[in-house]
Amino acid sequence: MQTKANTKKDLSFEDFKTEVLNDYHIAVTSRECSLLGRREVLTGKAKFGIFGDGKEVPQLAMAKAFKNGDFRSGYYRDQTFMMAIGELTIQQFFSGLYANTDLAEEPMSAGRQMGGHFATHSLDANGNWKNLTKQKNSSADISPTAGQMPRLLGLAQASKIYRNVKGIDTTNFSVEGNEVAWGTIGNASTSEGLFFETINAAGVLQVPMVISVWDDDYGISVHARHQTTKENISEILKGFQRDKTSKGYEILRVKGWDYANLMATYEEAAKIAREEHVPVLIHVNELTQPQGHSTSGSHERYKDKDRLNWEAKNDCNVKMREWLIENNIATDEELLTIEKSIKKDVRDAKKLAWTSYLKPALSERAELTTLLKTVANSSPNKVFIEKLANELADISEPSRKDSASAARRALRYVIAESTAEKQHLIDWIDSFFAKVQPLYSSDLYNESKTAAIHIKEVKPTYDQNAEDVDARVVLRENFDYIFNKYPETLIFGEDAGKIGDVNQGLEGLQEKYGELRVADVGIREATILGQGIGMAMRGLRPIAEIQYLDYIMYALQIISDDLATLRYRTKGRQKAPLIIRTRGHRLEGIWHSGSQMGGVLNLVRGIHVLVPRNMTKAAGFYNTLLKSDEPALVVECLNGYRLKEQLPTNIGEFKTPIGVVETIKEGADITLVSYGSTLRIVQQAAKELAEVGIDAEIIDVQSLLPFDINHDIVKSVQKTNRLMVIDEDVPGGASAYILDEILNKQDAFKYLDSQPKTLAAKQHRPAYGTDGDYFSKPSTEDVFEAIYAVMHETNPSNFPKLR
């Protein structure tokens, strides 16, 4: 079903006719899929539908201009485009609608995303890069509107890096930076801040990016007059139009039903972006949405009769059909024959998709019903178990949930029995979940031998007379080594370039490695992350710097919805090994010393969250991550850059292990668990506690996601029988997460003689100044007194009440 532009200069009429009729065939096929897809949802076979009807013809034009090596970062209505580039069959379309968990049947996400969310495979089954220059590529879609825009920026910037930075192995990723990143978005979603941030950033960076705005005058049920100033996105973006004296955008406008002009417009846009590395915006207007926004409602509820009549007459497929007849390319009879054939093809493929979806569930149901009858025959509760088996057998189109539920409910009826049949049922349930659960839960992280958790620790080494330097120097020297060893690495952020970041961890490196590899960027955190995601998806190893942890909130949606879910939502067929560098904790005031760790930990499952206590540990994490292929957030201690650390002799080679804790002081009375800047306070408190006879063991978490994979903390608790988690996050934040890991996953409660405690900051953000810090976050005295209180409760005679 792939559409290919005929590249011959002298195209015969017959060749032209064949090509155009093939395009029409794809457009009609896509429309029939949308129409039948809606019916499948309304009859209950599928859960939800959101389709690309009304956008077919402009997507054909986009597909014509789209070349091998190019990337799409799009909108959940681009099914026609995916069909046109040969990456979506009719059967795959319906397999996605039914949520088939077989990647061979549903290659977009193996049923993890709703239909309309498209992806190609950048990785093979072993997790190795495919040759992306030999295929047409689609980055995996997400539902949050405009959330695809920041990633689009990075996909485009990768071409600029590949074209202009020497020494990178481009074999699988680029041909002289000629690849274009194509974005699509609905007109209403251009109201989102992520769209405007991306527009501005791409204009500044001058990257080969083409954005198509599909404009059908509505955003769900809300008309454009409530969405966009002047009801016209290209009109209000006129200021971005490039001219002879200023760089900017090329802005093009075209009607979405005008097949001939669409082809010419997209050819022009591709040429500008590909050759000149200039971003292009194509405003495709006068489009329709014949079935409304989604299967959740009907557009007749919010469109008046005049609008509905206009849409019926100006539907892009209808207009293309008229154009074919008017230009003697096909007769009405010929087109009717084509359309009739397509209806049958779509119905047949839909049936095949449904049969394939049901097949494993039917097999599992048959196996279970036989087992349940055997269990029933050996049980006093036979009548109840047989009832479950019969009810399950009567379901004409069972889901896996039906079988799982029936098996687990049946087990309750034999709870007091001890029979071989009961054990067979238990074994069936266990094996069923062992087989089926990974279909919905695998690949959140790298599960192969190349995972970061398998990279062994390499300790820093020191000369006998090792030099004490500002800790920032350790980072600077390590980054210097990284950029020299890995030409595909680059770092960018606010103040990261010319001045070498606000804490001088990159001092002098822009001058040494150039402005493309050590780069300043504007104040725009979301698209800083987007740059990193997109470039990482194309084989580069970017380090995106967010100046302070507090400001990661601007980018948290992108980290959570896009980066953290990428490997999962493609079932391991795409990856973005982006390193996010930031600094936080223990400075001054509400906006420069917050601790968002609790929120971060709950929202970014899928990336590693690393909290080194000093810059040597941080540098070791960067070295570890660059040996792996997983995304991570590294939070450096904001108040640690000017503290003294020894300069290792094996800069760039030492590695901090991920998911491994470190005992930095052994003790016998209580286990203290903390991380980052707070550890220095805990260490000081431990010294003072020793003066009153309390011997504390201190454990540095180092890595929050993943957390203590070797379960070393429980070994400490087994020795001390007491536990306290100290953290400068809000109560119930990271400290609660850590406590949950220790108690519920490591079962440390078995060894406790005292109530486990947490000590966190106050609920409010920290107030400004030294006193503000003291009365907002845990102090040495707070730690001392909290631990002393635990020991007083244990042995009041040895540790009389303090106050």
Cross-strand bridge partners of residue 255: 285
The pLDDT of residue 7: 45
Compute the average pLDDT of residues 568-578.
98
Helices 148-164, 193-205: axis angle to 10 degrees equals 10
Our CA angle for 331, 335, 340, nearest 5°, is 150
Residue 201 near residue 207 (C-beta atoms within 8 A): no
Alpha carbons 54 and 118: distance in angstroms, whole number? 18
Element (H or E) spanning 400, and its range? helix 400-413
Residues 650-693 pLDDT 10s: 999 999 999 999 999 999 999 999 999 999 999 999 999 999 99
Give dist(CA 521, CA 205) in Å, integer. Answer: 9
Cβ count near 44 (within 10 Å): 8
Q: Which two tokens stand for residue 654?
A: 């030492």
How many Cα atoms within 13 Å fall on the side-chain side of residue 723?
29
Q: In the numeric block, which tokens belong to residue 218?
A: 């509505």
SS (H, E, C) 2-43: CCCCCCCCCCCHHHHHHHHHHHHHHHHHHHHHHHHHHHHHHC
Tokens of 709: 């994979």
- What's the order of all strands across the beta sheet hosting 757-759? 662-665, 696-700, 670-674, 723-726, 757-759
Is a pLDDT exceeding 50 seen at residue 85? yes
Report CA dihedral (487, 489, 492, 496) to the nearest 10 degrees.
-70
Residue 297's pLDDT band (boundaries 50, 70, 90)?
A: confident
The three-state secondary structure class of 591 is coil
Q: Which two tokens stand for residue 65?
A: 């201009």
Token pair 């102090």 is found at 779
pLDDT category of residue 591 using cuts at 50, 70 and 90: confident
Q: For the chain, what percent of residues have pLDDT higher than 70?
A: 99
Q: Find the mean pLDDT for residues 119-126.
A: 97
CB 706 within 8 A of CB 746: no
Q: Provide the pLDDT for residue 22.
A: 97
Dihedral angle of Cα 62, 65, 71, 73, to the nearest 10 degrees = -20
| Residue 571: both structure tokens together | 């079932």
β partners of residue 645: 469
For the cut 70, the answer to whether the pLDDT of residue 3 exceeds it is no
CB atoms within 10 A of CB 800: 9
pLDDT tens for each residue of 777-789: 999 999 999 999 9
Catalytically active residues are 525, 592
Write the DSSP assignment of 191-210 as a string of letters.
Answer: GSHHHHHHHHHHHHHT--EE
Task: Tell me what pLDDT residue 2 has.
Answer: 53
Residue type, 551: Y
